[in-house]
Amino acid sequence: MGLNSIMDVLALEAKSANGADAEKKSSSRPKPKPPKKAKRIVYFEVEIVDSKTKEKLLLLDKVEPTATVFDIKALFQKSYPKWYPARQSLRLDPKARCLRDEEILQTLPVGTTASFYFSDLGPQLTWGTVFLAECVGPLVIYLMFYFHLPFIYSPKYDFTSSKHWVVHLACMCHSFHYIKRILETLFVHRISHGTMPLRNIFKNCGYYWCTAAWMAYYINHPLYTTPYYGQQQVNTGLYIFLFCQVGNFSIHVALRNLKPPGSKIKKIPYPTKNPFTWMFWLVSCPNYTYEMGSWIGFTVMTQCVPVAFFTLVAFIQMTVWAKGKHCGYLKEFRDYPTLRSSILPFIL
Averaged pLDDT, 328-340: 92
End-to-end CA separation in angstroms for the chain: 112
**pLDDT recorded at residue 147:** 96
Per residue in 52-99, pLDDT tens?
Answer: 888 999 998 888 888 999 999 999 999 899 888 888 899 988 888 888
Q: In which band, very low, low, confident or very high, does the pLDDT at 18 lie, cut at 50, 70 and 90?
A: low
> Does the CA dihedral 319-322-328-334 come out positive or negative?
negative
Q: Which CATH architecture describes the domain 44-66+82-122?
A: Roll (3.10)
* pTM, entire model: 0.79
Span 153-188, pLDDT tens digits? 999 999 999 999 999 999 999 999 999 999 999 999
Domain boundaries, given as residue ranges, for the chain = 44-66+82-122, 126-224, 226-348
Closest CA to 126 of 86, 73, 84: 86
The whole-number pLDDT of residue 129 equals 86
User: Would you state the pLDDT for residue 130?
Assistant: 86
Percent of the chain with pLDDT over 90: 57
Say if CB 318 and CB 288 are below 8 A apart. yes
The reported pLDDT for the residue numbered 17 is: 53
